[in-house]
Amino acid sequence: MSPRPFPPAPKAAVKPLRRDAQRNRDAIVAAAREAFAREGLDASLEGVARQAGVAIGTVYRHFPTRLALVEELFTAKFAELVAAVEEAVAMDDAWQGFCHYLERLCELQACDRALHELLSARLPAHVIGGELVGRARKLGAQVFRAAQEQGFVRADATPEDAAFVIWSQVGIIQATRSVAPQAWRRHLHFMLDGFRAGCAHPLPEPPLTPLQVDEALTTIECPEHECQECHEGQ
């Protein structure tokens, strides 16, 4: 990867932070990155503050809401994801593109618990990834269809079935991470074989519609009961 060719302030207009403030902000982001990767989206902000060596109030000054912090942390990751899909699209062999796409996706999930919670359902994706997620999904569908049209992927599958890969890896990764951190790759390849044309047997259920996937992804799976994040107004 080459360094960014763009001039320094493409999105300036942001007030420069005071030096100490910037330092603290960086510490918070670093601590949060670790905590969220390890503990998921519910990581304690007080823990983050402790780890960063600042008071809790400072965290709230920089990131008025948990969502703001999550956004800060994960737009980069989402960009990585989009990059991966774009690579996949560009591949000649559509099956290899398909594999690459899913493999990269799972790889990203595997190192970051919060990311796979995000990808699975935990927060309104549009709030976080914005158009990045939309773009990734559109491109992903494209990759899928290419592989299907070239006859690699079974005809009765749809791009929505790729969601099964994401959703299923959540459990696999969580269960095996401490015992065999790469086991998800084995599972992925079982699933890839399941997607192949040639050994397709009838499926008992219709595919999810894009809308259903959308709902499943937007439905906030909060820790039961009432979820404050459902309420838009802060």
Which residues of this chain interact with its own copies, rule CB under 8 A?
34, 37-40, 42-43, 111, 113, 120-121, 157, 161, 163-164, 166-172, 174-183, 185-187, 189-196, 198-208, 212, 215-217, 219, 221, 224-225, 227-234
Whichever of 5 and 198 has its CB closer to its own copies, that residue is: 198
The answer to whether 110 and 171 have CB atoms below 8 angstroms apart is no
CB-based contacts of 109, cutoff 8 Å, min separation 6:
115, 116, 119, 166, 169, 170, 173
18-26, 94-102, 178-186, 205-213 -> range binding DNA (CB under 7 A)? 18-26
The answer to whether 140 and 85 have CB atoms below 8 angstroms apart is yes
Smallest distance, Å, CB 117 to DNA? 14
Q: Which of 25, 33, 77, 116 binds DNA (CB under 7 A)?
A: 25
Secondary structure (3-state) at 198: coil
Smallest distance, Å, CB 125 to its own copies? 12
Whichever of 44 and 96 has its CB closer to DNA, that residue is: 44
How many whole angstroms from its chain centre is CA 162?
Answer: 14
CB-based contacts of 84, cutoff 8 Å, min separation 6:
100, 101, 104, 105, 108
21 binds, among DNA, its own copies, none (CB under 5 to 8 A by kind): DNA
26-45: contacts with DNA (CB under 7 A)? 42-45
d(CA 170, CA 193): 19
Contact flags string 47-86 toward DNA, x per CB under 7 A: x------xxxxx-xxx-xxx--------------------
Q: Is 169 left (phi over 0), alpha (psi -120 to 50) or beta?
A: alpha
The answer to whether 151 and 125 have CB atoms below 8 angstroms apart is no
150 binds, among DNA, its own copies, none (CB under 5 to 8 A by kind): none
d(CA 88, CA 147): 11
20-28, 117-125, 158-166, 207-215 -> range binding DNA (CB under 7 A)? 20-28
Smallest distance, Å, CB 195 to its own copies? 7
Q: Is 212 left (phi over 0), alpha (psi -120 to 50) or beta?
A: alpha
> Residues in the site for DNA, rule: CB under 7 A?
17-21, 24-25, 42-47, 54-58, 60-62, 64-66, 225, 228
